[in-house]
């Protein structure tokens, strides 16, 4: 009887709920009345949702008259509408601008944009997802004010560059923290096609919710989820070919011979090449070899296919996302494949209980040559060659003998490709992320989060035996047979978190409060027996008073096992205030006129920490002979950073013009130097310790603006941004006047007033004209010759030494800017993104600058670039750009301003033209075909190869990408 009553009650509740439910139909259009195909319609506070069809029409079940529908679409402002007793709701969405009611992800909680007081930016995902982005890092270049992404390579399977938010202020890893659906991950793991939104927390008030990990900024990523309604399949596929844009032009064979003879003559040595040899090379009797052309056997290309299957009903929703990315390198062996799968589910277990269960896995396979394990070695070897060196021995008729490779200094890059063997790398990542949520009432909910991430890596390599023979068939050497494999260290990451979120309107809707409190524990376990654990307690309060004055306050306490006992816990509070000026009564006339729609001023201040260091640094390390290698430091603790930010947000002229501006200052102190040299004890030849030392200031500004409008059927937006960051060392050691010399880099010296990673070297005063001038200059290095750099004797003591080095600048990009243009006319769309750096000092290091490979051994490999040869010192050209050519040791290799160059540039990051077909038949909608060019045009006076990186001794080339793509939705 008891069970019958329970069942009857349950049936009655179900019938009552069913009776209250009804269907709402309608259409979604833009401001001109044109349909917005694919617009998302959600019932607020639930997982019930659907997508508008190609004609903009929709139908959705709502639970009751109090239901609120949220209408969203990329490129439009979100809109909320209360259902009431209506059965038909036709909605128009405004294009462009920042919707004040849009929700911003703020670290474990979501807040309406109008109630945010801290510095938070969101990426335009419409622009990011409509172009072919191979790796997610590429989407950050020129798209977010204050965020820089210096891309130095397009190497398959590798990270394209480093991201920094508001500059660098640490000696440790300066990469920002990345949170994906509440779980800490790497940007490299994420398929760009699976991303729904990207939010960047830039100041302490926003980032302090992550306390110990927020000093370098935080990137919050939400992936796509399913919505209630019809099953739908989204397809995005593209194919791209790449063209190198930074290949060096080395001198040809005959020119190399002449320059080598010139160098040896200037050095008082016997010339190597005879006039007859030079004549044969010049006439073509002996071919001039382009070694880079020999190792680049084909055009590189890439293909990407992403498929999403989503849908759901009353029980819940799902989204299965599959991806495959293939990158083919510049030869027939090298390349990479990435397979990814993400399954996101929302399960309605009970009326108030929802479980978000997400599963993710990806596999990255990278194929490299045995001699090219880091992806750059093959090209570095090609740079070590010169054009007079031949690939093969010749027979009596002067014909190349196949497979009879000539080894030059035991190198032949062509032989490395064909006979040098291969390496295969395998990287597996898999994760499960469970987020239960219980809604106690409409204002209060409790959430949990349990996630597990495991990463594994392995590699194998093989090389078959190959014997080298000379032109007469005599053995020269043998590359022996090698077969081996290696299992790399695996990592498992476990996160447990519990949250309580309270959101409510107060004083009859005049005020609004958002409150979050929680705790989390994280642990990392490595198969080499290392362990790291963290614990945290945190809270966040957002309070909007009368929608005019906004308060944010965030306290967080973090504990980390990386630090010494007694110093493991840190407390990191922050606060922010904002003033919505346009909500004041005296602003109503100007707001009603449409001249000013929104004006907000923000100010924030806070303390955050940084613990991006290896574990066990504070402990003593003793080697197998009993020698102390690392001294313990029981005072070793957190690196800390104080941040202050002042910002302004404005929307003007009927929401057509949006302006955002920020100025900020960051003061970092107790910097972590993990390898601080200590005077060695008896029995130790080297000794180090981890210490907290030094202080650094970062100051900067950010300015961005966007204008959006339409002229009839032509819709357009024009945007731009300008931002800069300058860092300065305030204290290099424990005292203000200390100097810190880094043991691993003699060119890196710290003292008060200069920048991190500064160029610390010699000022040059031209070149010595002749032997008499050399002899008449007592302040010079030994073995100085005519044509060598004349260094300035800064302290006038008649000796050139380390005391004469000065600050020559820093390598950081300054005055960063970007411009973008987006046009759409009926079914056509066109977009351009340009990005540049107004000021950067680059170093012409390695063979991008020097005429030989300075390897510390022979210093005689390689050949000069043609640019160097055309601008070198000779007795006839004493006022040249570069010193004389040389081989062997030279005083010219010291860091000086001769080897620094203007690396400012402007690059057309993206040009894209697309055409959309709204419907094909009854099942296929929104078919978009597009062509795209990325990094195709660069304007720069940089004397090296790639202005986004300093010079080097050979890298995988930087590429321009030309692609064609297709996107479509199927129901």
Least confident segment among 188-192, 640-644, 960-964: 188-192
Residue 74 has pLDDT above 70, yes or no: no
Q: What is the mean pLDDT of residues 877-901?
A: 95
Is 43 a residue whose pLDDT tops 90? no
Helical (H) or strand (E) element with 686 = none
Residue that has been written with the tokens 């833009």 in this structure: 30
Cα separation, 503 vs 441, in Å, equals 10
pLDDT over 80 at 462, yes or no: yes
CATH of 21-93, picked from 2.60.40.2470, 3.30.460.80, 2.60.40.1120, 3.40.190.170, is 2.60.40.1120
Output the pLDDT for position 14.
35
CA 71-72-75 angle, to 5 degrees, is: 140
Which pLDDT band, with edges at 50, 70 and 90, does 107 fall under? low
- CATH of region 103-233: 2.170.130.10
Please report the pLDDT score of residue 968 as a whole number.
93
Report the residue count for the chain. 971
Phi, psi of 20 (to 5 degrees): -75, -30
Q: Determine the 3-state secondary structure of 733 from DSSP.
A: coil
> Which residues pair with residue 346 across a beta bridge?
317, 356
Sole residue written with tokens 């480093």: 162
**Residue range 299-339, pLDDT digits in tens:** 999 999 999 999 887 788 899 999 999 999 999 999 999 99
Region 873-902 average pLDDT: 95
Helix (H, G, I), strand (E, B) or coil at 262: helix
CB 221 within 8 A of CB 197: yes
pLDDT tops 60 at residue 465: yes
What span, in angstroms and rounded, lies between the C-alpha atoms of 506 and 289?
78
pLDDT, residue 856, reads 84
**541 and 574 Cβ atoms separated by less than 8 Å:** no
**Residue 768 above 70 pLDDT?**
yes
What is the pLDDT, as a whole number, of residue 681?
A: 61
Domains 21-93 and 103-233 share a fold: no
The rounded mean pLDDT for the chain is: 89
Cα separation, 137 vs 219, whole angstroms: 11
Average pLDDT over residues 942-965: 93
DSSP output for 268-333: T---SS-HHHHHHHHHTSSPPP-HHHHH--S--EEEEEEEEEEEE-SSEEEEEEEEEEEEE-SSSS
What digits encode the pLDDT tens for the residues 335-380? 999 999 999 999 988 778 899 999 999 999 999 999 888 889 999 9
pLDDT of the residue at 707: 95
Q: Residue 614: pLDDT band by 50, 70, 90 thresholds?
A: confident
Q: Which of 92, 91, 111, 90 is nearest to 102 (CA)?
A: 111
**Site of tokens 């300093």:** 950
Residue 96's pLDDT is what? 55
Calpha distance 366→380 (Å, rounded)? 19
Q: In this model, does residue 10 exceed pLDDT 70?
A: no
pLDDT band at 499, cuts 50/70/90?
very high
50 three-state secondary structure:
strand
What are the extents of the domains in the chain? 21-93, 103-233
Instruction: Give the separation between CA 501 and CA 518, rounded to whole angstroms.
Output: 9
The pLDDT value recorded for residue 269 is 94
Per-residue pLDDT at 97: 46
Identify whether the C-beta of residue 484 lies closer than 8 Å to the C-beta of residue 523.
no
Structure tokens at 545: 């008073």
Predicted pLDDT of residue 140: 92
CA distance 212 to 219: 15
Q: How confident is the model at residue 4 (pLDDT cuts 50, 70, 90)?
A: very low
Residues in Cβ contact with 667 at an 8 Å cutoff, skipping those fewer than 6 apart:
641, 642, 643, 695, 696, 697, 730
> For the residues 515-532, what does the mean pLDDT come to?
93
CA distances to 210, 273, 378, 425, 890 from 255, in Å: 59, 11, 24, 41, 21
- The reported pLDDT for the residue numbered 531 is 93
Q: Distance (Å, rounded) from C-alpha 882 to C-alpha 951?
A: 15
pLDDT at 529 over 50: yes
The pLDDT score that the predictor gives to residue 108 is: 77
pLDDT tens, position by position, 221-254: 999 998 877 788 999 999 999 999 989 999 999 9
Give the confidence band of 11 by pLDDT, cuts at 50, 70, 90.
very low
Q: Which two tokens stand for residue 426?
A: 């395998």
Q: What average pLDDT does range 647-663 have in this prediction?
A: 94
DSSP 158-207: S--EEEEES----SS--PPEEEETTEE--GGG--GGGEEEEEEE-SHHHH
- Predicted confidence (pLDDT) per residue in 818-830, tens digit: 999 999 999 999 9
CB-CB contact of 905 with 942 (8 Å) = yes
SS3 400: strand
Q: How far apart are CA 82 and CA 384, in angstroms?
A: 71
Could you give the percent of the chain with pLDDT greater than 90?
Answer: 64
């Amino acid at each position: 009887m008891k069970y019958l009553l329970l069942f009857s009650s349950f049936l009655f509740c179900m019938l009552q709920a069913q009776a209250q439910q009804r269907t709402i139909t309608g259409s979604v259009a833009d401001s001109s009345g044109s349909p917005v195909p694919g617009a998302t319609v959600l019932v607020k506070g639930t997982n019930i949702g659907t997508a508008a069809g190609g004609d903009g029409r929709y139908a959705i079940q709502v639970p009751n008259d109090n239901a609120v529908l949220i209408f969203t679409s990329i490129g439009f402002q979100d809109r909320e509408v209360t259902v009431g007793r209506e059965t038909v709701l036709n909605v128009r969405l405004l294009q462009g601008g920042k919707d004040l009611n849009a929700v911003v992800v703020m670290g474990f909680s979501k807040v309406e944009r109008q109630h945010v007081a801290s510095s938070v930016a969101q990426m335009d995902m419409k622009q990011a997802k409509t172009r072919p982005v191979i790796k997610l890092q590429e989407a950050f270049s020129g798209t977010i004010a204050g965020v820089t992404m210096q891309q130095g390579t397009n190497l398959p399977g590798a990270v394209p560059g480093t991201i920094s938010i508001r500059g660098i202020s640490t000696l440790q890893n300066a990469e920002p923290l990345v949170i994906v659906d509440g779980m800490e991950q790497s940007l490299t793991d994420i398929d760009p096609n699976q991303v729904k939104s990207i939010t960047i927390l830039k100041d302490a008030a926003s980032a302090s919710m992550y306390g110990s990990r927020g000093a370098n900024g935080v990137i919050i990523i939400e992936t796509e989820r399913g919505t209630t309604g019809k099953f739908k399949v989204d397809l995005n596929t593209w194919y791209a070919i790449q063209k190198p844009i930074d290949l060096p032009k080395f001198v040809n064979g005959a020119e190399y011979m002449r320059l080598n003879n010139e160098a040896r003559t200037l050095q008082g040595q016997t010339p190597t090449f005879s006039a007859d040899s030079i004549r044969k090379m010049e006439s073509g009797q002996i071919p001039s070899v382009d070694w880079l052309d020999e190792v680049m056997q084909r055009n590189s290309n890439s293909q990407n296919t992403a498929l999403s299957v989503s849908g759901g009903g009353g029980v819940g929703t799902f989204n299965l996302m599959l991806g495959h990315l293939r990158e083919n390198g510049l030869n027939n062996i090298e390349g990479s494949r990435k397979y990814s799968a993400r399954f996101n589910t929302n399960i309605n277990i009970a009326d108030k209980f929802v479980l978000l269960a997400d599963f993710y896995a990806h596999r990255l396979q990278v194929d490299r040559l045995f001699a090219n394990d880091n992806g750059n070695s093959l090209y570095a070897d090609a740079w070590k060659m010169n054009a007079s060196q031949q690939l093969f021995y010749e027979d009596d008729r002067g014909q190349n003998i196949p497979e009879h490779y000539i080894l030059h200094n035991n190198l032949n890059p062509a032989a490395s490709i064909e006979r040098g063997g291969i390496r295969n790398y395998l990287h597996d990542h898999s994760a499960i992320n469970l987020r239960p949520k219980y809604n106690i009432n409409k204002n209060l909910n409790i959430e949990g989060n349990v996630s597990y991430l495991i990463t594994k890596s392995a590699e194998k390599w093989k090389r078959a035996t190959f014997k080298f023979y000379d032109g007469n068939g005599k053995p020269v050497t043998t590359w022996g047979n090698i077969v081996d494999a290696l299992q790399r260290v695996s990592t498992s990451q476990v996160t447990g978190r519990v949250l309580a979120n309270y959101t409510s309107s107060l004083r009859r809707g005049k005020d609004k409060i958002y409150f979050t409190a929680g705790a989390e524990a994280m642990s990392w376990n490595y198969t080499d027996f290392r362990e790291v654990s963290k614990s945290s307690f945190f809270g966040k309060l957002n309070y909007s008073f009368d929608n005019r004055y906004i308060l944010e306050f965030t306290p967080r306490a973090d504990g980390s096992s990386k630090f010494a006992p007694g110093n493991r816990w840190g407390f990191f509070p922050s606060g922010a205030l904002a003033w919505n000026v346009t909500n004041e009564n005296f602003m109503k006339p100007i707001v009603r006129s449409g001249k000013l729609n929104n004006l907000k001023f923000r100010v924030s201040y806070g303390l955050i920490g940084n613990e991006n260091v290896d574990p066990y640094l504070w402990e003593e390390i003793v080697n197998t002979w009993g020698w102390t290698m690392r001294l313990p430091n029981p005072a070793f603790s957190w690196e800390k950073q104080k941040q202050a930010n002042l910002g302004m947000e404005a929307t003007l002229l009927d929401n057509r013009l949006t302006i955002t501006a920020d100025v900020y200052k960051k003061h970092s102190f107790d910097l972590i130097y993990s390898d601080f040299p200590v005077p060695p004890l008896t029995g130790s030849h080297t000794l180090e310790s981890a210490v907290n030392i030094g202080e650094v200031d970062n100051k900067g500004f950010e300015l961005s603006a966007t204008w959006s409008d339409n002229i009839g059927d032509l819709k357009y937006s024009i945007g731009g941004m300008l931002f800069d960051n300058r860092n300065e060392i305030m204290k290099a050691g424990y005292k203000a006047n200390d100097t810190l010399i880094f043991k691993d880099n003699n060119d890196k010296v710290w003292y008060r007033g200069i920048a991190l990673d500064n160029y610390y070297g010699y000022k040059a005063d031209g070149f010595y004209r002749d032997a008499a001038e050399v002899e008449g200059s007592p302040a010079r290095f030994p073995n100085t010759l005519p044509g060598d750099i004349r260094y300035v004797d800064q302290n006038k003591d008649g000796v050139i030494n380390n005391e004469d080095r000065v600050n020559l600048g820093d390598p950081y990009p300054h005055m960063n800017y970007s411009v973008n243009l987006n046009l759409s006319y009926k079914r056509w769309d066109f977009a351009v993104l340009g990005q540049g750096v107004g000021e950067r000092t680059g170093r012409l290091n390695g063979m991008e600058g020097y005429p030989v490979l300075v390897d510390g051994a022979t210093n005689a490999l390689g050949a000069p670039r043609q640019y160097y040869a055309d601008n070198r010192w000779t007795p006839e050209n004493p006022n040249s750009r570069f010193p004389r050519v040389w081989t062997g040791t030279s005083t010219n290799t010291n860091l000086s301003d001769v080897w620094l160059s203007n690396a400012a540039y402007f690059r057309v990051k993206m040009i894209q033209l697309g055409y959309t077909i709204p419907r094909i038949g009854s099942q296929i909608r929104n078919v978009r075909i597009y062509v795209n060019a990325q990094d195709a045009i660069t304007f720069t006076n940089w004397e090296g190869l790639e202005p986004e990186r300093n010079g080097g001794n050979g890298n995988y080339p930087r590429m321009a990408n030309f692609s064609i793509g297709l996107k479509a939705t199927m129901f």
